[in-house]
Structure 1
């Protein structure tokens, strides 16, 4: 990929996250990259084309992150904890802007944008990965339910973190989720239900 094109995608990704897709203009992206509008249009003709590239970048980064967690964590439960604790890892940005995946998916959903399903693929990548981890923990029967429970926790906590900007609340919620996960480790038969655990 051309260096300028990669820079445009990176800057657009950041602006879409901080300002929203709708409120980000070609001019703002071009100014942030430091190129002329003419040079900008040489790489991308429409904002939807940039959006598509941004989503692909996010998918690639997500898969890379999950692969890294696979490499550094010895057990599936440890890998799920990496996901749960991402709220702390990315606290500085989440408290200001929320979750990048959730905010973009919500905005595109409100617009009934044709690329809303493409944006939602990032959630699907996370869900499929989490299902795999729960199956490896012996939770075959409830693996998908557990995966969705973790995703719902992440999105709900990120939203409230952005609303109240209360780090202690986030820490408490993470601790509760880690305790729930530990209870699953002790019961690998898959008998736990997510209902009522919190």
Structure 2
């Protein structure tokens, strides 16, 4: 395995452990053990846990951008793109019930620690916020597009928190259905038809 592959393996393992256990509770030894690396090989790639955190956040940003681009390519309308965002609660329901939202849990922990990387982690939410706002603007809601985006982000985070607390899969499905119904009320029929014609 080359140096770049080893480095990526460390980042992937750290990403999983930070999500499942938390950043503070995860040690260098935990990451090295799960990656199957000696301490010397490990330290060749990363000298501090903060360096690994920066790489994890950078990787999540890249993956989030790729997801948003895929939704933009594959959906027929802005409303359908927004539904793709809502449906990640169902797609990731098993992991969410076990560990919460990966973005929300990391941002919350780093904020509590007043960690220097807390604003970098919050960029993940900003990517979703800006992307959702653009979709709402294309649906004719330019004036309150950002407020609608924030509302949807807030509601999805609330669902993730309660799904983790109660381990209730049916709750996730009900809330996703309610969010889809809410979305329909926010999008005038003329905007929905116009957005489908413009894609």
**Taking structure 2 as the reference length, what is the TM-score of the superposition?**
0.93
Distance 1:132 1:186 in 2: 16
Q: CA deviation at 1:170?
A: 1.0
1:90-128 deviations in whole A, cap 9, x for unaligned? Answer: 011000000000000000000000100000000000000
State which of 88, 93, 96 in structure 1 corresponds to 2:95: 93
Q: CA deviation at 1:71?
A: 0.9
Distance 2:66 2:13 in 1: 20
In structure 2, what is the equivalent of residue 49 of structure 1? 51
Distance 1:92 1:175 in 2: 18
In structure 2, what is the equivalent of residue 150 of structure 1? 152
Gaps of 5+ in 2: 192-199
1:61-95 deviations in whole A, cap 9, x for unaligned? Answer: 00000000011101000000000110000011000
Aligned to 2:6, the other structure's residue is in SS state: helix
Q: CA deviation at 1:171?
A: 0.9
Q: What root-mean-square deviation, in Å, do the aligned CA atoms of Structure 1 and Structure 2 show?
A: 1.1
Q: CA deviation at 1:185?
A: 2.5
Is 2:79–2:135's contact at 8 Å kept on the other side of the alignment?
yes
**Taking structure 1 as the reference length, what is the TM-score of the superposition?**
0.93
Q: CA deviation at 1:183?
A: 1.6
Aligned to 2:47, the other structure's residue is in SS state: coil
Gaps of 5+ in 1: 190-198
State which of 139, 164, 167 in structure 1 corresponds to 2:166: 164
In structure 2, what is the equivalent of residue 80 of structure 1? 82
Post-superposition, which runs of at least 4 consecutive aligned residues in structure 1 deviate over 3 A? none
Aligned to 1:141, the other structure's residue is in SS state: helix
Distance 1:50 1:126 in 2: 23
